[in-house]
């Protein structure tokens, strides 16, 4: 096997000598000093991927938003809060052989974030939040003109038409792979221990059976090792 050959050549696992950046967790986008917009990402899948890559010998930079899931040992943790900070952290950690964008990055941030806490207006007027689109980390890395990582993997958390949305996302972003899943509340995947994913590559679509997030991570890490070995 290719993997075993490399493992024996480098001594430390098939990803020894490789640098992989993994983004994980939610981002928090401030509304005012006490309020923010968040998302339900637990950061479990991202943490498991970082762990699995580390276990195959990679040097892992783990760029994580605010998450209750502890990061694995033996990876370099860069803690961020907002999407802008996450992009900066990823760019600061380059160059890398692969970037795995598992974070649930906020698509928008609040344009008119307030320095003071928003107050209820006695007149009953409701505040209006204006949004501005966040930079797209996956697209930015995928479309780098120089020193692009050889493998850029995005995630697509969908609640309907998973495959169609994921295929469109892969084409639109210019990434190599998309790991797609259905995060509708009834699946129990968001915040849960299991995941059921589709892997979309240039070669087509694979449907993986529902399994522990740690096992999804190990399978994905092995596939990453194979891809980087080609």
Name which of 110 and 224 has its Cβ closer to a second copy. 110
Stretch 60-119 residues interacting with a second copy (CB under 8 A): 68, 104, 106-108, 116-119
Out of 11, 12, 40, 206, the residue judged to bind a second copy by CB under 8 A: 40
User: By rule CB under 8 A, what count of residues binds a second copy?
Assistant: 41
Tell me the CA distances in angstroms from 52 to 45, 203, 218, one per residue in order. 10, 24, 5
226 is written with which tokens?
A: 């194979």
Which residue's CB is nearer to a second copy, number 186 or number 203?
186
Strands 151-158 and 98-101: parallel
By beta-carbon proximity to a second copy, the closer residue of 119 and 209 is 119
Stretch that binds a second copy, among 57-65, 86-94, 153-161, 197-205 (CB under 8 A): 153-161
Q: Does 185 bind a second copy (CB under 8 A)?
A: yes
Question: Using the rule CB under 8 A, is 124 a contact of a second copy?
Answer: yes
Q: Is 20 exposed, middle or buried (0-12, 13-18, 19+ CB in 10 A)?
A: buried
What is the closest distance, in whole angstroms, from the C-beta atom of residue 82 to a second copy in the complex? 14
Q: What are phi and psi of 64, to 5 degrees?
A: -125, 135
Nearer to a second copy by Cβ, of 185 and 192: the residue is 185
Tell me if 183 contacts a second copy by CB under 8 A: yes
Q: How far apart are CA 171 and CA 167, in angstroms?
A: 6
**Cα end-to-end span (Å), the chain:** 12
Query: Quick count: other Cβ atoms within 10 Å of Cβ 51?
Result: 21
Residues that bind a second copy (CB under 8 A): 28, 31, 33-41, 68, 104, 106-108, 116-120, 122, 124, 126-133, 157-160, 165, 172, 183-185, 190
């Amino acid at each position: 096997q290719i993997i075993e050959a490399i493992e024996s050549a480098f001594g430390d696992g098939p990803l020894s000598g490789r640098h992989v950046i993994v983004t994980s967790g939610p981002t928090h986008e401030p509304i005012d000093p006490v309020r923010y917009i968040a998302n339900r990402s637990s950061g479990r899948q991202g943490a498991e991927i970082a762990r699995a890559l580390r276990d195959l010998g990679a040097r892992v930079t783990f760029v994580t938003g605010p998450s209750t899931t502890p990061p694995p040992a033996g990876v370099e943790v860069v803690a961020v809060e907002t999407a802008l900070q996450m992009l900066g952290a990823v760019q600061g950690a380059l160059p890398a052989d692969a970037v795995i964008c598992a974070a649930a990055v906020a698509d928008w941030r609040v344009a008119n974030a307030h320095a003071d806490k928003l107050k209820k207006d006695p007149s009953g007027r409701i505040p209006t939040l204006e949004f501005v689109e966040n930079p797209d980390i996956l697209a930015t890395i995928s479309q780098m003109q120089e020193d692009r990582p050889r493998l850029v993997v995005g995630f697509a958390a969908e609640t309907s038409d998973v495959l169609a949305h994921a295929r469109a996302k892969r084409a639109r972003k210019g990434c190599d792979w998309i790991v797609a899943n259905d995060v509708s509340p009834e699946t129990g995947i968001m915040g849960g221990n299991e995941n059921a994913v589709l892997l979309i590559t240039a070669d087509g679509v694979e449907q993986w059976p529902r399994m522990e997030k740690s096992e999804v991570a190990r399978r994905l890490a092995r596939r990453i090792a194979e891809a980087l070995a080609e």
